[in-house]
A = this chain, B = another copy of it.
């Protein structure tokens, strides 16, 4: 998988919030095999230094995000500060439209993407499965799209599978990353089997009873789903078909 000219071997991207402790976070990152982790500006407070050291030690590439931003101005300002602070053009662009569902605001998202792309950012937009919204983001300069599976933190999995399938078909050559809503490794594997390029998640690992074990499970499941996509899944059938062909039972005399 190549995004903005960078090749990634792991197709699991990991968030860094809500972990029980920095140690657990560091171990979870290692266990997941992730090469990219998302970070938010706000972690850079009084204890920011220790957090930054931990991140550096992980060897992962940083993808700063604009989590919690509800307007174009907030998101653009946050992105600029993140670029300065983290020294990267990558930005995961979130412009939240609604406090209950945390769904993206399609209108503000496109506007913010236009501004940031024009300023040389490499934008990873958190979006819906809306095809027209996706096209506008591509027109704005985005070279990857990150549609939600379900609202952030719900663990519902892929709640509009037909819509996501349409999206994959509509953008056959664009990297598409499922971002948000994944609650179980089986759901991550399903996303990969449908042909999505990667999965980004946070809560399902951070809030597991054993985050490190869960991180490892997700890493394996994403690899399994990708391998299955490449190996060519059998078609679903309506009628049963004997897996062991019967050649007559005469030998049972």
Residue numbers of A with Cβ under 8 A of B are 15, 17-18, 40-42, 45, 65, 67-69, 74, 77-78, 81, 97-98, 100-107, 110, 128, 130-133, 136, 150-156, 159-160, 162-163, 166, 170, 183-187, 189-190, 192-193, 202-204, 206-214, 216-221, 223-225, 227-228, 230-247, 249, 251-252
Specify how many copies of this chain sit in the oligomer.
4
Let me know if A154 and B224 touch, CB within 8 A. Answer: no
Let me know if A132 and B106 touch, CB within 8 A. Answer: yes
Let me know if B185 and A225 touch, CB within 8 A. Answer: yes
Let me know if A236 and B162 touch, CB within 8 A. Answer: no
Give chain B residues whose Cβ lies under 8 Å from the Cβ of A163.
159-160
Known: A189-B185, A233-B184. A130 touches B106 (CB 8 A): yes
Let me know if B239 and A154 touch, CB within 8 A. Answer: yes
Contacts A152-B242, A155-B236 known; 8 new A-B pairs at CB < 8 A: A97-B132, A152-B241, A202-B244, A203-B234, A203-B241, A203-B243, A209-B231, A213-B230
- Give A169's nearest chain B residue, CB to CB: B100
Quote the shortest CB–CB distance from A246 to chain B (angstroms).
4
Quote the shortest CB–CB distance from A155 to chain B (angstroms).
5
Let me know if B240 and A100 touch, CB within 8 A. Answer: yes
Give chain B residues whose Cβ lies under 8 Å from the Cβ of A223.
217, 220
**Cα of A237 to Cα of B42 in the assembled complex, Å:** 25
**Cα of A76 to Cα of B108 in the assembled complex, Å:** 24
Let me know if A244 and B100 touch, CB within 8 A. Answer: no
**Cα of A252 to Cα of B210 in the assembled complex, Å:** 35
Give chain B residues whose Cβ lies under 8 Å from the Cβ of A252.
74, 77-78, 81
Let me know if B153 and A240 touch, CB within 8 A. Answer: yes
Query: What are 20 A-B contacts with C-beta separation under 8 Å?
Result: A40-B244, A42-B244, A67-B243, A100-B166, A130-B130, A151-B166, A153-B243, A160-B163, A184-B190, A186-B221, A186-B225, A208-B234, A210-B231, A211-B231, A213-B228, A214-B233, A217-B231, A218-B224, A220-B220, A221-B228
- Give A99's nearest chain B residue, CB to CB: B240
Let me know if B193 and A224 touch, CB within 8 A. Answer: no
